[in-house]
Amino acid sequence: MNAAILDWLNLLVRWIHIIAGIMWVGNSFLFVWMDSALTAASKPREGDVMGEIWLVHSGGFYEVVKRRSLRPQDLPPSPLYTFMWQSYTTWITGALLVGIVYWAGGSLYMVDRSVANLTTTQAILASAAVLIGGVALYEAIWTLLENQPRVALGLSLAALIGAAFGLTHLFAGRAAYIHFGAMLGTIMAANVAHHIVPGQNKMLAATRAGTPVDVSLGARAKARSIHNHYLTLPVVFTMISNHFALTYGHAQSAIVLLLIVTFGMALKYAMNHRFGGNRLVHVVGVLALIAVVTLTARKAPAGARGAYNGRPAVSFAEAQAIIERRCTTCHSHHPTNPSFSQAPSGVMFDDPARIHAMAPRILERAVITKTMPLGNLTGITDEERATLGAWIAQGAKLDAAH
Ligand code: HEC
């Protein structure tokens, strides 16, 4: 497909994806917060009341009463609002984005031959298998072990660790992180479609039919909803991780990912408990954050320079020749790589001044994290990376001619 059309599809679908995702996550945050803020009913209220909450927003006052189940005579007049299209829209557009960004265009972002030597077809099949396999495994664990939630939780966390290591040994770092998030997002959408919405529908149907209401359906819906809730911060991180090569481009990218996931879940716990609750969770979260920042910390420029001590002086002409050979097929005014109608991220190396200005990012992407060239399509060598590193460490100087 034409690269510009693919770009537009990407833009529009991503726009919808983000808006739907904000609405879904916002709902999740609001309802979990409301549950935690419920107080005993302030006056007699009919039915199976769990509590009430008063809110004010934009000058209006909202009185919300939560009931575990409804009696036939309490059935609300329609409409009774339910929340599912936010999550379905997020998932559908997310799946489309996996197709547009990762499957189309010859698996450009998925395959890194230094990670795993996959063909395009193999990469696409692996991508689909990860999304389907993740939700199948999660369902199996939580269906078989529904009455042993601690065991199920332990197995799920072990599977999460396995997924982080497995994915970072299968795909290029950036695709590994996105697939980790997409796999969790698929589990979350399946929870809404297969447990939360059907559970509440069955409860309503029983109420309408005047038959006993199975409140365990509500309890299961709530459990799945809490799983989704604790996955929100980790998933949102994976979705913005593209911008941070220091995370997915790290040599220990699985550990970096798991530490950030730990921090995200602990932060959500702390938010839910208004920064109280079990202090151990706070300590684990803070330690995870300190560990990941330390692990990914860059050497100070002086230290980086030290790494190139003893290397002969590198002229700009040498550095420019490497960049022309390995980078400008994509990063130029007129990319020759057919997948790009424009220079990716607007980064162009046609002009010496631009190369000079971009030196810190070139160091980060091509020398330290080795996340550029993309999938090493242009076959840069480690020696060439080191030469670029030395040129930058020596001050990224232009020749007198420039
Ligand atoms: C096959 C195409 C391709 C080649 C070749 C390529 N890049 Fe990139 N580059 C991309 C794409 C796509 C992006 C945007 C996505 C991203 O940032 O990962 C990008 C983004 C960048 C960015 C901007 C993002 C940031 O983190 O600042 C820099 C800098 C960069 N590349 C440097 C390089 C260097 C240096 C080379 C050569 C050693 C190179 N690239 C070769 C495709 C390529």
Q: Is pLDDT of 401 > 80?
A: no
- The 3-class SS string of 121-159 reads HHHHHHHHHHHHHHHHHHHHHHHHCCCCHHHHHHHHHHH
Domain closes at, from 296, 320, 337: 296
For ligand 1, atom 36, which residue shows the shortest CA distance?
327
Give which of 224, 221, 176 is closest to 202, Cα–Cα.
Answer: 221
How far, in Å, from the CA of 374 to the mean position of ligand 1?
6
Tell me how far apart the alpha carbons of residues 240 and 372 are, in angstroms, rounded to a whole number: 18
Residue 366 beta carbon below 6 angstroms from any ligand 1 atom: yes
Same domain, 223 and 330: no
Rounded to the nearest 10°, the torsion over CA 323, 329, 330, 335 is 130
User: Is residue 48 included in any domain, yes or no?
Assistant: no
Same domain, 273 and 310: no
CB count within 10 Å of CB 65 equals: 14
Confidence class of residue 304 from pLDDT cuts 50, 70 and 90? low
Which of 296, 317, 337 represents a domain boundary (last residue)? 296
pLDDT digits (tens, 9 = 90+) for 254-285: 999 999 999 999 999 999 998 899 999 999 99
Q: Answer yes or no: is 150 within a domain.
A: yes
Residues 6 or more apart whose Cβ sits within 8 Å of residue 174: 109, 241, 242, 245, 248, 249, 371
Into how many domains does the chain fold?
2
**Rounded to 5 degrees, what angle do the CA atoms 341, 342, 344 make?**
120
What pLDDT, on a 0 to 100 scale, did the predictor assign at position 305?
61
Cα angle 7-100-365, degrees, rounded to a multiple of 5: 75
CB 345 within 8 A of CB 364: no
Residues listed for the chain:
402
Q: Which residues contact residue 220 at a Cβ distance below 8 angstroms, ignoring those fewer than 6 apart?
A: 146, 195, 199
Q: What is the DSSP string of 285-320?
A: HHHHHHHHHHHHPPPPHHHHHHHTTTPPP--HHHHH
Q: Do 232 and 264 have their domain in common?
A: yes
326 and 291 share one domain: no
Q: Is residue 49 situated within a structural domain?
A: no
Q: How is residue 265 written in tokens?
A: 């879940």
Grade residue 308 by pLDDT with cuts at 50, 70 and 90: confident
Q: Are residues 281 and 306 in the same domain?
A: no
Q: Cα–Cα distance between 299 and 304 in angstroms, integer?
A: 6
Q: Is 331 helix (H, G, I), strand (E, B) or coil?
A: coil
Structural domain includes residue 402: no
Residues 158 and 267 in one domain: yes
Residues 233 and 361 in one domain: no
Q: What tens digit of pLDDT does each residue of 68-79 get?
A: 989 888 888 889
Range of the domain at 318: 302-393
Q: Are 399 and 391 in contact (CB under 8 A)?
A: no
How far is ligand 1, taken at its centre, from the CA of residue 359, in Å? 13
Q: What are 108's two structure tokens?
A: 């450009």
Ligand 1: atom nearest CA of 371 is 18
Are residues 292 and 345 located together in one domain of the fold?
A: no
Question: Band of the pLDDT at 239, cuts 50, 70, 90?
Answer: very high
Q: Distance, CA 328 to ligand 1 centroid (Å)? A: 9
Q: Is residue 247 very low, low, confident or very high in pLDDT (cuts 50, 70, 90)?
A: very high
Residue 384 lies in a domain: yes
**What value does the mean pLDDT take over residues 39-63?**
95
Question: Which DSSP letter does residue 99 get?
Answer: I
Distance of CA 287 to the CA centre of its chain: 21
pLDDT at 301: 52
Asked whether residue 312 is domain-assigned, the answer is yes
* Domain boundary pick from 267, 296, 325: 296
pTM score:
0.90
Give me 74's structure tokens.
Answer: 């309490």
Q: What angle is formed at CA 368 by the lines to CA 365 and CA 374, rounded to 5 degrees?
A: 35
Answer yes or no: is the C-beta of 326 below 6 A from any ligand 1 atom.
Answer: yes
Using the mean position of ligand 1's atoms as its centre, give its distance from the Cα of residue 373 in Å: 6
> 365 C-alpha vs ligand 1 centroid, how far in Å?
7
The C-alpha R_g of the chain, in whole angstroms, comes to: 26
Indicate if the pLDDT at residue 151 is higher than 70. yes
Do 201 and 113 lie in a common domain?
Answer: yes
Are 292 and 373 found together in one domain? no
Give the number of C-alpha atoms closer than 13 A to the C-alpha of residue 122, restricted to the C-beta side: 9
Query: In whole angstroms, what is the distance from residue 195 CA to residue 172 CA?
Result: 34
Asked if residue 111 and residue 214 are part of one domain, the reply reads yes
Give yes or no for residue 327 CB within 6 A of ligand 1: yes
**Residue 46, in any domain of the structure:** no
Let me know: does 202 contact 214? Beta carbons within 8 Å. yes
Q: 279 and 309: one domain?
A: no
Residue 53 lies in a domain: no
Torsion angle of C-alpha atoms 10, 12, 17, 20, degrees rounded to 10: 180
